[in-house]
A = this chain, B = another copy of it.
Amino acid sequence: MKTFYHSAVKLTSGYLYEKQELNRKITVNAVYDRFSDTGRFEAFKFNYTEGGDKLKPHFFWDSDVAKWMEGAAYILSKNDDPALEEKVDAVVEDIKRNQGEDGYFNIYFTVIAPEKRFTDRDKHELYCAGHLMEAAVAYSEAKGKNDFLDCMERYADYIYKVFIEEKSAGFTTPGHEEIEFALIRMYRHTGKKKYLEMAKFFIDERGMRLEEYPGENKMKLSDWECSKYNQSHMPVRKQSEAVGHSVRAMYLYMAMAALAKETSDKELADACRRLWEDTVTKKMYVTGGIGSTHMGECFTHPYDLPNDTAYAETCAAIGLAFFAHNMLGLENNAMYADVIERALYNGVLSGYSQNGKGFFYENPLEINLSERFANPWGKKRLPITERVECFKCSCCPPNIVRVMSSLGNYVYGYEDGTLYVNQFISSELNEDGILCKMTTDYPRTGVISVRAEGVERVAVRIPAWCDSFKINAPYTIENGYAVVKADREITVELDMAVKTVWANTDVARDAGRVCVMRGPIVYCAEGVDNGNNLHRFSISADFGYTVSEGEFGLPEITVDAYKAESTDDILYSNKAPENKMTQLKLIPYNSFANRGESDMSVWIREK
């Protein structure tokens, strides 16, 4: 399907609208302030000198600011905010002033190590370029100002010359993917086929150099494993397993899907489908988090989904939503929108504090404070338990800014006279003669009303988590969507009953445990509500759940629970613990750690 761009979609109310407003009012400025404090904006002035008073630019700082600019552009596309616009323009002026004659633009490789330009695949040079290109496209679209885009077109042309014409760079494809998708956006926005050609080049060249060695057994294992880190272990068309750094993987796969769509490349689309299936049926947390380990921020084995050491980087969940969104562009199947929903409402929002200023880089599914320890011989490596305002590697905060400000991207799609309703947010769509108004308080309630004009049919996603729904019109189910004629206001009512969820029995760490969901929202128990040592609680699907108003913008859930209590004070006993009846309060997982340090668990023992 064609998915409508956020610029055609205005969110009007509801839970995600409130998050978008929080981002617009607080977060975009808070991230700007923290990036200012840490010298990231100043760095664009190219005034760093060794021994001077400026902070030394890191080789990925361009990308941090670029993602912020992209988010700011999305905000500016719908809101007048002269102060914000001025901040963006100031960076654009710096870029114009400091871009090389040849079109090159990179802070680190101009100010710190100019002699190393395009020699080190692992130094994020093309990754930074990609993020700047995405920001430039967004700003052009938002305000019609094309200075930034002109700069980035010149930069893209220079990259074309170096990598494709002259082949004079020290590497063929980037160590961190991103430019591939950015180039497709450049192509889509400018219509220039050269950028599509470049995207195809970087995608198709990946993993090709290893083909000179016939088969992995002729390589040293370390080379093979290293090349998996950035998905360079084999040509991407042959890949079937999600491997390596999970954010890089997602940025590659989304670009592959976008390229497959633009070029109707069936082979590439098939590779995307295999990588999709491997990701979502074997390597994804229930929250939409991906990347089980901090070691290389990587995928590990199928079903290896530890809860307390989960890495599940916020950017990876965002990347999964991006990948899913591009798969949805490739084929009409509600399962992709289901994963977008899972990731956005859970593993993405968990990285974003209630006050709009704090972030998680890692999003664990379990915290046991009593198991944390350090001694002079080491420290048990576990994720942090409180959100912070900025990281040294601060990719996640501006990624939140750009996702929250472009939520409209995920709502509607169109194909062959059918309007697809992919996400449920009160909103208005207006593009190409298609008008649609959706009214809902989802996911607080499951009632969604849609009135569409200029289309023949409306296809409303029926989420996979939903066993029961009503529609006020005749419908057929196609690829997970309920398809109805667009001749009336359509009202869909999804059953929002709380559900008990079990993980696949191949997931060792969730064995004997259940998780509680209501609609798309994954719930968790926190020590601050229930006392720590949450392992003592067990619940049953038969106990029933009570839903009440909660303090985090979504309902909270109370469930009868057993709490295990030893009957003697010895360590090992022939007597079973007593299970005392009590209650367990559950809050949305995405809102954990907003009330200080506390134990937390998504997966609760099943009685």
A: which residues have CB within 8 A of B?
222, 225-226, 228-229, 280-282, 284, 286, 293-296, 298, 300-301, 303-304, 306, 368, 370-371, 373, 375-380, 464-465, 467, 499-509, 511-512, 515, 533, 535-536, 538, 541, 564-566, 569-577, 605
Q: Which 6 A-B pairs have the closest CB atoms?
A: A295-B378, A296-B377, A511-B535, A508-B535, A295-B377, A505-B564
Shortest distance between the CB of A365 and any CB in chain B (Å): 12
B570 engages A375 (CB within 8 Å): no
Query: Besides the contacts A226-B376, A508-B533, what 10 more A-B pairs have beta carbons closer than 8 Å?
Result: A293-B378, A294-B378, A295-B380, A298-B377, A304-B373, A371-B508, A503-B572, A504-B570, A506-B533, A508-B535
Point out the residue from B293, B377, B515 that lies within 8 Å of A229, measured CB to CB: B377
CA distance A536 to B575 in the complex (A): 24
- Assuming the A-B contacts A295-B377, A373-B293, are A502 and B573 also in contact, with contact meaning beta carbons closer than 8 angstroms in the complex? yes
B375 engages A573 (CB within 8 Å): no
CB-defined contacts of A508 to chain B, threshold 8 Å: 368, 370-371, 533, 535
CB-defined contacts of A376 to chain B, threshold 8 Å: 222, 225-226, 229, 296
CA distance A571 to B515 in the complex (A): 12
B538 engages A505 (CB within 8 Å): no
CA distance A349 to B295 in the complex (A): 35
CB-defined contacts of A464 to chain B, threshold 8 Å: 570
- Assuming the A-B contacts A501-B572, A502-B576, are A605 and B306 also in contact, with contact meaning beta carbons closer than 8 angstroms in the complex? no
CA distance A559 to B439 in the complex (A): 57
B296 engages A512 (CB within 8 Å): no
- 15 contacting pairs across A/B (C-beta < 8 A): A225-B376, A228-B375, A295-B377, A295-B380, A300-B373, A304-B371, A464-B570, A467-B574, A501-B573, A502-B573, A505-B565, A505-B577, A511-B536, A511-B564, A541-B576
A375 engages B301 (CB within 8 Å): no
> A500, A572, A577 — which one has the most chain B CB atoms within 10 A of its CB?
A572
Shortest distance between the CB of A274 and any CB in chain B (Å): 15
CA distance A573 to B503 in the complex (A): 6
